[in-house]
Structure 1
Amino acid sequence: MYVLGPNFWGLVNPDWTLCSQGKYQSPIDIDPRSLLYDPNLRPFNLTRNRVSGVIVNTGHELKLNIESDEEMGQSAVVTGGPLTYKYRLHHLSIHFGKKDYFGSEHLVNGTSFPLELQLVAYNEDLFPDYEHAKLSSFGVTIISLLGQLNSTSNIYLDRIIRHAANVRYKGNSINITDVFLGGLLPNTKHYLTYEGSLTHPGCQEVVTWIIVNKPLYISKDQLAVLRSIYKVEDEKDRSRMQNNFRPAMPLNNRTVRTNILPSSQSKQCRPKKLLSYEVNGRFLER
């Protein structure tokens, strides 16, 4: 397990103090009983451009670093939703477990999912690049997609996964073109949002999280490919890149907002709390 819990990273590197002592850490276990309905939350938007980039095995995750070329229309921008600024997509990362019943970083009512895909973007209105943005307030937004197993493969995700054989070991990389990241997003305007952190060192508390309320479908075969990747540099050590997720961290009185209108209420009532939440085919009630 990719453990970044209390009293761990802070003892290893003083630059990672937030990982052990921060109060706005991610991921979290989402409690459907405490969600706050916010009627002012707008739908968020990810531009539907195709992009190019480099798929990398970092040893912790399978990552797609996105190359931005505005003249060629090869860039992707996140706007709207809970965001005030414009955020440029920087990379995609995938977290997954050894077994089908866990692997996601975020939980819902204690329930884990086999995979979580994260689209990471930085505030291009205020900062020149991701490295500057991840050190500053309002610097980063992450769109989180929770995975659910399906009988058929996800054609948009397969565009990335089929290159996994070429990056089986840590440090391996391969160029990829014509990736339609917009196809990964489920057809819904509903999401949850909260203020949190990056889930890897140094755990900077600069992230506006957007957790989509419909699943990213993935087949068992696709998940098996991910589980075949190694977190080491060569085949002498057979350690697989599995369970590369951070455990849920304390909420510490933060508010998790949503634009999902409770089914028991009308829009005119403008309810303050969401009474139930449906995710990945599971109906989780108060």
Structure 2
Amino acid sequence: MGSAARLSAPGALVLWAALGAAGPPFWGLVNAAWSLCAVGKRQSPVDVELKRVLYDPFLPPLRLSTGGEKVQLIHFNQELYGNLSAASRGPNGLAILSLFVNTSTQVAGSSNPFLSRLLNRDTITRISYKNDAYFLQDLSLELLFPESFGFITYQGSLSTPPCSETVTWILIDRALNITSLQMHSLRLLSQNPPSQIFQSLSGNGRPLQPLAHRALRGNRDPRHPERRCRGPNYRLHVDGAPHGR
């Protein structure tokens, strides 16, 4: 999460940020279109207590689809909506796939292979500032996910303005490994372009929101936690032409 600007009226620029006077406590006050940030009852993120997760044997296998040139982990329901903007305003419009990370002091070879490629020195030094871009070839999304994993899901919101409550959150229940050095490299990245003051990517998460009466559902049977879960099924495609498995 970083900062952004939105137009709430002709010529009126409204800012939000992760910290300070434009931070989360004020999002719902500075723009009427963001009122859910203050009064919504299904806001994200939430504290996921494993003891509150309900096993749901009817959850379908997780299907992951990636494009050949770019990957977005915020998906919209194409059966109901024509674009991401429309989906963010409608019920069951968005799905956000979330992965957790474990940091260790071990050598780089023990880290996730996708992140190792993404965070090596040759790559990370090319994207130091906001809007920097670098194209990585032959990097498969499959490497990002554990060979076998379960997931937890709940109904929530965007974690940045306008905080629309149209999101199905999918939390992968096995964390990725990352080294302390790789995490340090991430913290050296700036949320701002080089023309502005440096602001680290660290410490920019929205505070936890009340779970209230929402259900946390999972597809891993607590009676057999070691049992391999169903899925994932990968559908890889380039320009709409399926290939792979």
Q: TM-score, normalised by structure 2?
A: 0.73
Instruction: Spell out, residue by residue over 1:18-59, the C-alpha distance to the aligned partner (whole angstroms, 9 max, x if none).
Output: 111111000000122222121211221214x56323xxxxxx
Report the CA distance between 1:207 and its aligned residue. 0.8
Superposed, 1:1-286 pairs within 5 Å as 2=18, 5=24, 7-47=25-65, 51-53=68-70, 66=71, 91=72, 119-150=73-104, 151=106, 152-162=110-120, 163-234=123-194, 237-263=197-223
Question: Equivalents in 1 of 2:184, 2:68: separation in Å?
Answer: 25
Question: Equivalents in 1 of 2:92, 2:34: separation in Å?
Answer: 19
Report the CA distance between 1:195 and its aligned residue. 0.3
Structure 1 residues 177, 16: CA separation in 2 closer, same or farther (over 3 Å shift)? farther
Q: Quick check: 1:149–1:219 contact (8 Å CA) kept in 2?
A: yes
| Paired residues, number | 201
Q: Provide structure 2 residue ranges, at least 5 long, that are not aligned to the other structure.
A: 1-16, 228-245
Report the CA distance between 1:157 and its aligned residue. 1.9
Q: Quick check: 1:51–1:179 contact (8 Å CA) kept in 2?
A: no
Which amino acid letter does the alignment assign opposite residue 149 of structure 1? T
Q: Quick check: 1:190–1:213 contact (8 Å CA) kept in 2?
A: yes
Report the CA distance between 1:199 and its aligned residue. 0.7
Question: Equivalents in 2 of 1:254, 1:171: separation in Å?
Answer: 37
Instruction: Spell out, residue by residue over 1:82-112, the C-alpha distance to the aligned partner (whole angstroms, 9 max, x if none).
Output: xxxxxxxxx2xxxxxxxxxxxxxxxxxxxxx
Question: Equivalents in 2 of 1:177, 1:12: separation in Å?
Answer: 42
Structure 1 residues 51, 159: CA separation in 2 closer, same or farther (over 3 Å shift)? farther
| Structure with max Cα Rg | 2
Q: Quick check: 1:51–1:178 contact (8 Å CA) kept in 2?
A: no
Q: Provide structure 1 residue ranges, at least 5 long, that are not aligned to the other structure.
A: 54-65, 67-90, 92-118, 268-286
Q: Quick check: 1:169–1:232 contact (8 Å CA) kept in 2?
A: yes
Greater fraction helix? 2
Q: Quick check: 2:111–2:176 contact (8 Å CA) kept in 1?
A: no
Question: Equivalents in 1 of 2:80, 2:38: separation in Å?
Answer: 28
Report the CA distance between 1:235 and its aligned residue. 6.4
Question: Equivalents in 1 of 2:64, 2:148: separation in Å?
Answer: 13
Question: Equivalents in 2 of 1:236, 1:142: separation in Å?
Answer: 30
Q: Quick check: 1:44–1:189 contact (8 Å CA) kept in 2?
A: no
Greater fraction strand? 1
Q: TM-score, normalised by structure 1?
A: 0.63
Instruction: Spell out, residue by residue over 1:179-222, the C-alpha distance to the aligned partner (whole angstroms, 9 max, x if none).
Output: 31122111224111100011111111111111111111112222
Which amino acid letter does the alignment assign opposite residue 83 of structure 2? D
Q: Quick check: 1:50–1:181 contact (8 Å CA) kept in 2?
A: no
Instruction: Spell out, residue by residue over 1:229-260, the C-alpha distance to the aligned partner (whole angstroms, 9 max, x if none).
Output: 11222266232221121111011211111122
Structure 1 residues 234, 189: CA separation in 2 closer, same or farther (over 3 Å shift)? closer
Question: Equivalents in 2 of 1:19, 1:132: separation in Å?
Answer: 18
Which amino acid letter does the alignment assign opposite residue 133 of structure 1? A
Question: Equivalents in 2 of 1:186, 1:217: separation in Å?
Answer: 10
RMSD: 2.5
Question: Equivalents in 1 of 2:54, 2:181: separation in Å?
Answer: 37
Residue identity over aligned pairs, in percent, reads 33
